[in-house]
Chain A
Amino acid sequence: GESVGLHLPTLSVQEGDNSIINCAYSNSASDYFIWYKQESGKGPQFIIDIRSNMDKRQGQRVTVLLNKTVKHLSLQIAATQPGDSAVYFCAEIPGSNYKLTFGKGTLLTVNP
């Protein structure tokens, strides 16, 4: 079936650098996308979302970019901090179905 996937399973950055986490999705019916952060042993934490009628959305230190032409999402974290170390998942909601389909996840490690 259709699924959301990630290009990079792991990402290691230096503290203070910017991080970019990528996600490819295949369901063209998806119109809503969310990035979650999951720390070890905890549930997912909402970071930022974007609807399909937008191509960019900014939050505090984070930016999500959506390219519908190539079905690609990215999460940019500015000035990455050690506390940003976690697994990051993209998730999609296709159409009116409120069920979330999660991508595979990227482990972000921030080195001091």
Chain B
Amino acid sequence: GAVVSQHPSWVICKSGTSVKIECRSLDFQATTMFWYRQFPKQSLMLMATSNEGSKATYEQGVEKDKFLINHASLTLSTLTVTSAHPEDSSFYICSGFPPGGRGDTQYFGPGTRLTVL
């Protein structure tokens, strides 16, 4: 199947700093990408839908000014956690959704483990 990569795979930062996570679709064009957050022993929670060339759509309760999403090309979406705090520590996962696809064609990245000290 198609491959989605994330970088970095893990990051540790100090409270108050900003962290950027990259999500790349390696062999397909992803007009839509989704960003999820997963706390330990919990399920994936959708944070936002990122559409190439337009503003991201955020789920209820997700602060758009804190979690900045940029989808500047068909193969790259970035999530920037601004002024990170310990409660933002989580596993962040993205998925790529090619045009014309549905459900079974949403390909997930390997995730990024963020730890905020």
Contacts and interface: CB of A to CB of B under 8 A. Distances in A.
Contact of A43 (B43, B45, B97, B109): B109
Nearest to A89: B43
Interface stretch (B13-21, B76-84, B99-107): B99-107
Interface stretch (A11-19, A66-74, A98-106): A98-106
If over half of B's interface residues share one DSSP class (helix, strand or loop), that class is named, otherwise mixed; here it is: strand
A43 B102 contact: no
B103 A98 contact: yes
Contacts, number: 50
A37 to B, nearest CB: 11
B9 to A, nearest CB: 9
B21 to A, nearest CB: 13
A93 B34 CA distance: 14
Interface residues of B, number: 23
A44 B93 CA distance: 9
B49 interface: yes
Contacts of B106: 98, 100
Given A42-B110, A43-B111, A98 B32 contact: yes
21 contacts: A41-B91, A41-B113, A43-B93, A43-B95, A43-B108, A43-B111, A44-B44, A46-B1, A49-B103, A49-B104, A89-B43, A89-B44, A93-B102, A98-B97, A98-B102, A98-B103, A100-B103, A100-B106, A102-B44, A104-B42, A104-B43
Interface of A: 32, 34, 41-46, 49, 89, 93, 98-105
Given A43-B108, A43-B111, A46-B1, 19 more contacts: A34-B103, A41-B91, A41-B111, A42-B110, A42-B111, A43-B4, A43-B109, A44-B93, A49-B103, A89-B43, A93-B102, A98-B103, A98-B106, A99-B46, A102-B43, A102-B44, A103-B43, A105-B42, A105-B43
Interface of B: 1, 4, 32, 34, 42-46, 49, 91, 93, 95, 97, 102-104, 106, 108-111, 113
Identify the 3 closest CB pairs spanning chains A and B, nearest first. Answer: A43-B108, A102-B43, A102-B44
